[in-house]
């Protein structure tokens, strides 16, 4: 019989209570590290590896040559309860190297030590030259069948489901850089279609910096950190960037998009995506059209405020990555519609006077509407970042029958680059056999051998023609990718652009003219900030000249901020018809996956809190309770304390109470508490006031009920636009939802320009 041991009883009780709290704390809110809560003590009973979390997916289990294996996904993960060598031999110790006595030296024969360290030494692979920082997710694409007239691509057929993997990224920063920097975002989609993989490798900006691929190293060298000090990281606010774009003025169109709110998206889920180039589509009858691809987010296009983006880069550098994974985990699956703009395939390759081969030009949606052709839903997070998100390899040349390229000189260069770069990054020519890159169509390619060959190719004749392997593989006309016999005009071999590429300003002006006043203000402040960070006067003056060629008001406003005179335009200012589709403001959208901070006071006013939490979940959003201390308050788990919370994490704020300064509201403990005198006098914890203050100035919706109203009064924001007070928590949340649907309380951003 077990003897009575009071110390153990106490320990068991504490452990059970801790587990209960831990469970309550982690329930409902996304972000738990594993699929089961961690026990307090190190487990000692051998057990099989834990399964992945329920929302995690892995690449389909295919052979390197595309056949379905039927192998369950966990079979690809580590097996068995016991630690082994890479060859499966069990090990009894991995904590001590094999030494000649306890004081060493380490013996050469320690194969376990050498295997462990050697493998570790080679864990890193080169990061992507561009788009190094990214986040990926698995999902499904369903065709609407509406593209059948223009393309025979089977994955676009009505109701056809195709698995996809999407990787979002920033362009300039290193793998470990912050998510919320001002930059272009990559939006690359791998469709594992039955007819071969289709990669749509796009961006969240519909135009590019350059017109010819040969300039890519130039723009990237200019945008990356300065080569001497390797600063600044992941941003364009520096001399080399502005030096290049002010000289190579075809970059001005892309640059104004970067300086607009598009450069700082709120979430990957609130980004549009664009194929950028014009593609050529071909239908069953062999007829062709030219087309541009668009991704339209269900949640609308929405961005951060610049100060929010800057704070986030420090407070939560993983903000976009976290947001993507949290949303999927919360069941708020991100969705986009794929759409196409269609143009006749005329020999001049223009539409409404716009050169369709010039990747620095858009075709306004008002001239060529975007027609929806299918829906993308991201519904599984990766199980292993490296295996999936890091090893995924996109390539514009991955095209299914029905989709072909054009002569866009940027696109043409990319067709070379994407395979070439993988040779170094993924260590050889067999990267398409890495599980995340394996096609879902049968592969019979006659490519052989090379580093990391996974296939067991049979036969003796990987050449054509052959008789030894029965002539296999055969070429066919049937559903084959056919090179279209596009006529190439008779022309000399020259290094030059078409003259239609020479207009560098009219569409930049079109973009500016299409912005709402608040968006124009944001553009002015972005240029002023970025150029204000440059050292060289000549570069600032040169860029001001570019701005003068875009719009005099824009130029004057930025010039004021820089303390420089505004130059006169050197090109005629084009008459432009604004394109309302370019503005992000003015609509109403669902609030899926939004983060709602709820400030509670453990001393009272907790009646409605549980109900509000449930209502937030029911609305597809995530409630985060903010309290003076961790643990539980009124039966609900606290996810943030005043010390760990920062406004930038929340899309909107609710206040159920007006908590007095907590014991840790000391400047020495938490600088956010402010100066000592202020803390002593404050009626409400100064960190709560800071939360309200920041949410207010970032134009976020704020709501309060009960005692929470006093906190609003204390912060001096009661009765201002977008600040609601209500009788109950439920009513406050309903009012808040309405405000959230317009994304921000735009009235709080007064504009000085029309
Ligand atoms: Fe890329 N680009 N790019 N690019 N790009 C790469 O490929 C390149 C361009 C884009 O999440 C690299 O695998 C050249 C336009 C995305 O894995 C590299 C040119 C657009 C991604 C490369 C361009 C893009 C890349 C780096 C000028 C928008 C990330 C690693 C002709 C339409 C894909 C890699 C991912 C990645 C070359 C221009 C989008 C070096 C030479 C225009 C979204 O091959």
400-435 pLDDT, tens digit per residue, is 999 999 999 999 999 999 999 999 999 999 999 999
Q: Which residue has the tokens 């959230």?
A: 740
Q: Average pLDDT, stretch 125-137?
A: 98
Q: Which residue has the tokens 């951060």?
A: 304
What are the structure tokens assigned to 140, written together? Answer: 């499904």
Residue 160 CB-density burial (10 A; 0-12 exposed, 13-18 middle, 19+ buried): middle
Strands (E), 345-384: 350-351, 354-355, 371-382
What are the structure tokens assigned to 141, written together? Answer: 């694409």
Burial readout 579-608 (b: 16 or more C-beta within 10 A, e: otherwise): beebbbbeeebbbbbbbbbbbbbbeebbeb
What are the structure tokens assigned to 282, written together? Answer: 């071909």
β-partners of residue 164 are 139, 191
Q: How far apart are CA 129 and CA 425, in angstroms?
A: 9
Strands (E), 535-600: 595-599
CA 9 / ligand 1 centre spacing (Å): 61
Q: How far apart are CA 234 and CA 177, in angstroms?
A: 6
Q: How many CB atoms lie within 10 A of CB 27?
A: 10
Q: How far apart are CA 226 and CA 224, in angstroms?
A: 6
β-partners of residue 10 are none
The mean pLDDT value of the chain amounts to 95
At 9 the pLDDT is 38
Confidence of residue 7 (pLDDT cuts 50, 70, 90): very low
**Is the pLDDT reported for residue 17 higher than 50?**
no
Q: Which atom of ligand 1 is nearest to the CA of 186?
A: 43
pLDDT digits 0-9 by tens, 28-64 = 788 999 999 999 999 999 999 999 999 999 999 999 9
pLDDT digits 0-9 by tens, 485-527 = 999 989 999 999 999 999 999 999 999 999 999 999 999 999 9
At 73 the pLDDT is 87
Confidence of residue 2 (pLDDT cuts 50, 70, 90): very low
At 685 the pLDDT is 97
Q: Which atom of ligand 1 is nearest to the CA of 188?
A: 43
Confidence of residue 23 (pLDDT cuts 50, 70, 90): very low
At 676 the pLDDT is 78
Q: Are the C-beta atoms of residues 184 and 204 closer than 8 Å to each other?
A: yes
Q: What percent of the chain has pLDDT over 70?
A: 96
At 16 the pLDDT is 45
pLDDT digits 0-9 by tens, 345-381 = 999 999 999 999 999 999 999 999 999 999 999 999 9
β-partners of residue 341 are 292
Q: Which residue has the tokens 């519909």?
A: 206
pLDDT digits 0-9 by tens, 192-225 = 999 999 999 999 999 999 999 999 999 999 999 9
Q: Average pLDDT, stretch 223-229?
A: 98
pLDDT digits 0-9 by tens, 89-126 = 999 999 999 999 999 999 999 999 999 999 999 999 99
Give yes or no for residue 414 CB within 6 A of ligand 1.
yes
CA nearest ligand 1 atom 31, residue: 213
CA nearest ligand 1 atom 18, residue: 418
- Continuous segment of H or E residues that includes residue 532: helix 517-532
Q: Which residue has the tokens 């796009």?
A: 202
pLDDT digits 0-9 by tens, 552-584 = 999 999 999 999 999 999 999 999 999 999 999
Contacts of 118 (CB under 8 A, 6+ apart): none
In terms of Cα–Cα distance, which of 363, 359, 361 is closest to 412?
A: 359
Give yes or no for residue 200 CB within 6 A of ligand 1.
no
Q: Which residue has the tokens 């609407």?
A: 144
At 489 the pLDDT is 86
CA nearest ligand 1 atom 37, residue: 417
Q: Are the C-beta atoms of residues 237 and 530 closer than 8 Å to each other?
A: yes
In terms of Cα–Cα distance, which of 244, 224, 171 is closest to 546?
A: 244
CA nearest ligand 1 atom 42, residue: 208
Give yes or no for residue 279 CB within 6 A of ligand 1.
no
Q: Average pLDDT, stretch 274-294?
A: 98
Q: How far apart are CA 748 and CA 142, in angstroms?
A: 40
Q: Are the C-beta atoms of residues 612 and 654 closer than 8 Å to each other?
A: yes
The widest CA-to-CA distance across the chain, in whole angstroms, is 98
CA 433 / ligand 1 centre spacing (Å): 21
Burial readout 501-525 (b: 16 or more C-beta within 10 A, e: otherwise): bebbbbbbbbbbbbbbebbbbbbbb
Q: How far apart are CA 202 and CA 439, in angstroms?
A: 20
Give phi and psi for 675, each to the nearest 5. Answer: -75, 150
Confidence of residue 5 (pLDDT cuts 50, 70, 90): very low
Question: How would you classify the pairing of strands 595-599 and 622-627?
Answer: parallel
Q: How far apart are CA 114 and CA 97, in angstroms?
A: 9
Confidence of residue 677 (pLDDT cuts 50, 70, 90): confident
Give yes or no for residue 137 CB within 6 A of ligand 1.
no
CA 394 / ligand 1 centre spacing (Å): 8
At 499 the pLDDT is 93
Q: Which atom of ligand 1 is nearest to the CA of 277?
A: 32
Q: Average pLDDT, stretch 702-707?
A: 97
CA 418 / ligand 1 centre spacing (Å): 7
Q: Output helix, strand, coil percentages for the chain, rounded to the nearest 5.
A: 30, 15, 50
pLDDT digits 0-9 by tens, 286-316 = 999 999 999 999 999 999 999 999 999 999 9
């Amino acid at each position: 019989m077990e003897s009575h041991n009071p110390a153990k009883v106490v320990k068991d009780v504490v452990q059970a209570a801790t587990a209960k709290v831990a469970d309550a704390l982690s329930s409902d809110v996304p972000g738990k590290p594993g699929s089961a809560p961690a026990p307090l003590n190190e487990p000692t009973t051998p057990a099989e590896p834990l399964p992945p979390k329920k929302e995690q997916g892995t690449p389909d289990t295919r052979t390197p040559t595309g056949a379905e294996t039927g192998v369950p996904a966990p079979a690809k993960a580590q097996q068995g309860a016991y630690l082994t060598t890479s060859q499966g031999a069990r090990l009894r110790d991995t904590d001590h190297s094999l030494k000649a006595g306890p004081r060493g030296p380490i013996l050469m024969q320690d194969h376990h030590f050498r295997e462990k360290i050697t493998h570790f030494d080679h864990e890193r692979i080169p990061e992507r030259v561009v788009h190094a920082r990214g986040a990926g997710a698995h999902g499904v694409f369903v065709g609407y069948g509406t593209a059948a007239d223009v393309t025979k691509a089977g994955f676009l057929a009505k109701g056809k489901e195709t698995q996809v993997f999407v990787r979002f990224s920033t362009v300039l920063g290193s793998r470990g850089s912050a998510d919320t920097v001002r930059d272009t975002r990559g939006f690359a989609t791998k469709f594992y279609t039955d007819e071969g993989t289709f990669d749509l490798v796009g961006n969240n900006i519909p135009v590019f910096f350059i017109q010819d691929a040969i300039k890519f190293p130039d723009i990237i060298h200019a945008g990356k950190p300065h080569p001497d000090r390797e600063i600044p990281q992941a941003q364009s606010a520096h001399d080399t960037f502005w030096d290049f774009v002010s000289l190579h003025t075809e970059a001005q169109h892309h640059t104004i998009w970067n300086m607009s709110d598009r450069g700082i998206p709120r979430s990957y889920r609130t980004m549009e995506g664009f194929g950028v180039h014009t593609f050529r589509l071909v239908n069953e009858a062999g007829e062709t059209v030219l087309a541009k691809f668009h991704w339209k987010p269900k949640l609308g296009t929405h961005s951060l405020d610049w100060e929010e983006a800057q704070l986030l880069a420090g407070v939560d550098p993983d903000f976009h990555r976290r947001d993507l994974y949290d949303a999927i985990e919360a069941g708020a699956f991100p969705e986009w519609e794929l759409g196409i703009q269609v143009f006749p395939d005329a020999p001049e390759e223009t539409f409404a006077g716009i050169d369709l081969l010039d990747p620095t030009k858009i075709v306004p949606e008002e001239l060529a509407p975007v027609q929806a052709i299918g829906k993308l839903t991201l519904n599984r997070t990766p199980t292993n970042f490296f295996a999936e998100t890091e090893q995924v390899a996109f390539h514009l040349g991955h095209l299914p029958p029905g989709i072909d390229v054009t002569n866009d000189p940027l696109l043409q260069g990319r067709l070379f680059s994407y395979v070439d770069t993988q040779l170094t990054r993924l260590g050889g020519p067999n990267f398409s056999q890495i599980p995340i890159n394996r096609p879902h169509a049968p592969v019979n390619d006659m490519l052989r051998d090379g580093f990391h060959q996974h296939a067991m190719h049979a036969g003796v004749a990987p050449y054509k023609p052959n008789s030894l392997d029965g002539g296999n593989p055969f070429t066919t006309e049937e559903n084959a990718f056919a090179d279209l016999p596009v006529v190439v005009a008779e022309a000399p071999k020259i290094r030059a652009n078409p003259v239609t590429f020479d207009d560098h300003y009219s569409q930049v002006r079109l973009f500016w003219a299409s912005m709402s006043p608040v968006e124009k203000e944001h553009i002015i402040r972005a240029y002023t900030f970025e150029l204000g960070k440059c050292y060289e006067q000549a570069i600032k003056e040169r860029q001001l000249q570019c701005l003068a060629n875009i719009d005099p008001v824009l130029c004057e406003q930025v010039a004021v901020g820089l303390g420089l005179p505004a130059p006169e335009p050197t090109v005629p200012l084009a008459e432009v018809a604004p394109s309302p589709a370019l503005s992000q403001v003015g609509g109403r959208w669902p609030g899926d996956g939004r983060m709602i901070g709820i400030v509670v006071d453990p001393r009272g006013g907790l009646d409605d809190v549980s109900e509000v939490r449930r209502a937030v979940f029911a609305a597809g959003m995530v409630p985060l309770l903010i309290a003076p201390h961790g643990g539980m308050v009124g039966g609900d788990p606290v996810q943030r304390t005043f010390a760990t919370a920062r406004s930038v994490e929340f899309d909107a704020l609710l206040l159920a109470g007006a908590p007095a300064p907590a014991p840790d509201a000391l400047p020495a403990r938490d600088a956010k508490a402010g100066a000592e005198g202020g803390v002593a006098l404050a009626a409400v914890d100064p960190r709560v006031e800071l939360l309200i203050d920041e949410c207010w100035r970032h134009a976020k919706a704020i709501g309060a009920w009960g005692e929470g109203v006093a906190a609003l009064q204390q912060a001096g924001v009661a009765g201002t636009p977008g600040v609601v007070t209500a009788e109950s928590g439920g009513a406050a949340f309903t009012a808040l939802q309405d405000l959230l649907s317009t994304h921000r309380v735009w009235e709080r951003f007064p504009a000085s320009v029309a």
